[in-house]
Amino acid sequence: MNASPTVVVIPGDGIGPEVIDAALKVVRAVLGDELEIVEEQAGYSLWKKRGVTIEDETIERCREADAMLFGACTTPEDPEAKSPIVTLRKELGLYANVRPARSWPVPRPVDTEFDLVIVRENTEGLYTGCECEIHDGVTVALRKISEEGTRRVAEVACDLAEERSGRVTIVHKANVLKLTCGTFKRVAAETVERRGLEWDDEYVDAAAYKLVREPDSFDVILTSNLFGDILSDLAAGLMGSLGLAPSANLGDDAALFEPVHGSAPDIAGKGIANPVAAILSAAMMLDHLGYGEEARIIERAVEEVLREGVRTPDLGGSATTEEVAEAIAERVATG
Amino acid sequence: MNASPTVVVIPGDGIGPEVIDAALKVVRAVLGDELEIVEEQAGYSLWKKRGVTIEDETIERCREADAMLFGACTTPEDPEAKSPIVTLRKELGLYANVRPARSWPVPRPVDTEFDLVIVRENTEGLYTGCECEIHDGVTVALRKISEEGTRRVAEVACDLAEERSGRVTIVHKANVLKLTCGTFKRVAAETVERRGLEWDDEYVDAAAYKLVREPDSFDVILTSNLFGDILSDLAAGLMGSLGLAPSANLGDDAALFEPVHGSAPDIAGKGIANPVAAILSAAMMLDHLGYGEEARIIERAVEEVLREGVRTPDLGGSATTEEVAEAIAERVATG
Ligand SMILES: CC(C)[C@H](C(=O)O)[C@@H](O)C(=O)O
Ligand SMILES: CC(C)[C@H](C(=O)O)[C@@H](O)C(=O)O
């Protein structure tokens, strides 16, 4: 653990800055000024000013930091405009996207209590950026699955499974994608077995079905990039709101933490964005930086505040972003 | 409408034969012996006997038939073994997979009432079968989206939208797959506009989220192959069971009807498979063959029987496959 870890903070667009403000307030409540915060710009506002969505120097600063806290960015429609988050995942080798989903004490569409984590491969799959028109009116995209890319993300799933149930569920579509998903399934299974853990597997369609019906039957889900994208939003739906879904993007030398939600331009500036996903992402970051106890304190505070009904409108409440952040920060400071 | 339409029936493996039996019983209750039924084999049992999962003559017979009723097939793990259903979709040009999902009077994980239909492109996307190892340990699959392939499935979505809300929701991931999903979105939108209908769109992850929270906000969903595969299983989860989810695979010269569920080897032979998905698929087939009134009679009978609690174990009931089929057949004959 560094004396004073450096954290690059990228608030981004839309509700990004609002929820990041809230998260930093909670971090300060538990850690004071122990972190060195460097703020950087990325996204739509930067695109309008400079014609890029993220600058090379920002990527460099991220590379040197101990961690990054990312809000949300709007990617311009322009085909030239790159998604900042996809760029960072690729440039910094953030190959594992860890997305915990659990039932919090809030109204949820499905009653079942659950506590699972999706480990999503974060650099391959359909996110290669390799697309072309191979024939008039016929376009193709490359879906890449490599053995090494699968192995390294499987190791992260195993790290989590070791602290949890010891079981990894591999989600794929190897009945259709016999080679690519076949590779993913085989290498993932080999990795889990080598680590002395258990695995089972599901087709991605069956996994979507089972998540709706028995989310409590899952613990650690390991899957490829786009499947993880879809299933983690599904899981956020089960939680009752994307506003509760945090995530970590992990690589060998870098770690970025971000709420799963996007920049939500429709509610930006209204002060009603749910800050919990960003606050829980910050807690995951603290855990990663060696402040495990502080992370637990934040999670407990979130739980209590939600239970008491201090909730933003996405959860049926009437609290503002600031009120929720304030309530959690207070709880953290006293607890 | 033919005097006596020919229907090729492929019961398949696992629970396939059981649910097809049930469906044919209901069809006979409403239509007597009006259909000419030709039974064909495909799937795992055929593979064991002949080393193929479907025979060329079967495909020919399907080509000549007025419709097909398909149960479910188990595809052997062998990399040489082709999925019969994927083969039929491709060989017969069944480019539109129509998957209605609605709330029936049964216990469901989510309370909201809904009535939507997913129109899934059925021959392109990641189902091209084009995969290779381009480098040691590096595999790729081709995802193909063509303008023509998109246009023709969009027309089917428009046909449905015309009879429903007049609105099509295009589901894609054009923020990442700018070219392939971009093409899908653009051509789909153009088609809908040319037909004088309305469209909106959602990213596939957001659609999964919204389906869990507000399934009633959707009417006709138009999407590419694998997205449709995942979302239709999700929607079946919301219905309370895959055992209630029927589908039509439509082409210009052929139509195949099948339950969305698979062969479910774990419950095969126990007499407890839910026959409703197969029965509703048969109703969709009758509608297609010009027996619209008979299709409505079956749907109403299903609704009544489910409301009365005659349900298989997947719906929390204790009725057998045969009891449910019998109850629906009786209702059909008297109503
Ligand atoms: C914004 C988008 C590129 C991104 C993704 O698809 O990965 C988002 O949906 C996510 O899940 O983080
Ligand atoms: C069995 C499998 C190949 C098939 C598919 O992926 O299309 C099934 O899941 C379906 O949805 O009909």
Q: How far apart are CA A68 and CA A2, in angstroms?
A: 15
Residue A151, helix vs strand vs coil: helix
Contact B263, B13 (CB under 8 A): yes
Average pLDDT over residues A46-75: 96
pLDDT band at residue A182 under the 50/70/90 scheme: very high
Chain A, 2 to 31: residues with Cβ < 8 Å from chain B are none
Ranges of CATH 3.40.718.10 domains, chain B? 1-96+245-335, 108-239
User: pLDDT by residue (tens digit) across A187-209?
Assistant: 999 999 999 999 999 999 999 99
Q: How far apart are CA A16 and CA B272, in angstroms?
A: 51
pLDDT band at residue A79 under the 50/70/90 scheme: confident
B2 pLDDT above the threshold of 80 = no
Assigned CATH for A1-102+241-335: 3.40.718.10
Q: Residue B279: what are its φ and ψ, rounded to 5°?
A: -65, -45
Q: How far apart are CA A95 and CA A254, in angstroms?
A: 10
pLDDT band at residue A29 under the 50/70/90 scheme: very high
DSSP-derived secondary structure letter, A196: T
Residue B318's CB is within 10 A of a number of other CB atoms, namely 11
CB of residue A212 inside a 6 A radius of ligand 1:
no
User: pLDDT by residue (tens digit) across B189-213?
Assistant: 999 999 999 999 999 999 999 999 9
Of 3.40.630.30, 3.90.700.10, 3.40.718.10, 3.50.50.60, the CATH number of B1-96+245-335 is 3.40.718.10
- In angstroms, the Cα distances linking B20 to A55, B10, B102, B143 are 60, 8, 22, 33
CB of residue B209 inside a 6 A radius of ligand 1:
no
Q: Is the dihedral of CA B100, B104, B106, B108 positive or negative?
A: positive
Nearest atom, ligand 1, residue A232 CA? 11
CB of residue B123 inside a 6 A radius of ligand 2:
no
The pLDDT value recorded for residue B75 is 86
User: What value, to the nearest 5°, has the Cα angle with vertex A240 and ends A239 and A242?
Assistant: 80
A230/B204 touch (CB, cutoff 8 Å), yes or no: yes
Query: How many interchain CB pairs under 8 A, A with B?
Result: 163
How far away, in angstroms, is B246 Cα from ligand 2 center? 13
Average pLDDT over residues A17-34: 97
Assigned CATH for A108-239: 3.40.718.10
Check if B205 is active-site: yes
| Percentage, residues of chain B above pLDDT 70 | 99
Q: How far apart are CA B244 and CA A36, in angstroms?
A: 56
pLDDT band at residue A334 under the 50/70/90 scheme: confident
User: pLDDT by residue (tens digit) across B116-136?
Assistant: 999 999 999 999 999 999 999
pLDDT band at residue B152 under the 50/70/90 scheme: very high
User: pLDDT by residue (tens digit) across B74-106?
Assistant: 988 888 888 999 999 999 999 999 999 999 999
Q: Which of B66, B201, B219, B229 is an active site residue?
A: B229
B140/A180 touch (CB, cutoff 8 Å), yes or no: yes
- In angstroms, the Cα distances linking A263 to A10, A71, A128, A238, A282 are 12, 8, 23, 20, 17
A164 touches chain B (CB under 8 A): no
Across B237-275, b (16+ Cβ under 10 Å) vs e yields: bbbbbbbbbbbbbbbeebbbbbbbbbbbeebbeeebbbb
Check if B229 is active-site: yes
Q: How far is A176 from chain B (nearest CA, A)?
A: 7
The pLDDT value recorded for residue A75 is 86
Q: How far apart are CA A38 and CA A1, in angstroms?
A: 18
Ranges of CATH 3.40.718.10 domains, chain A? 1-102+241-335, 108-239
CB of residue A209 inside a 6 A radius of ligand 2:
no
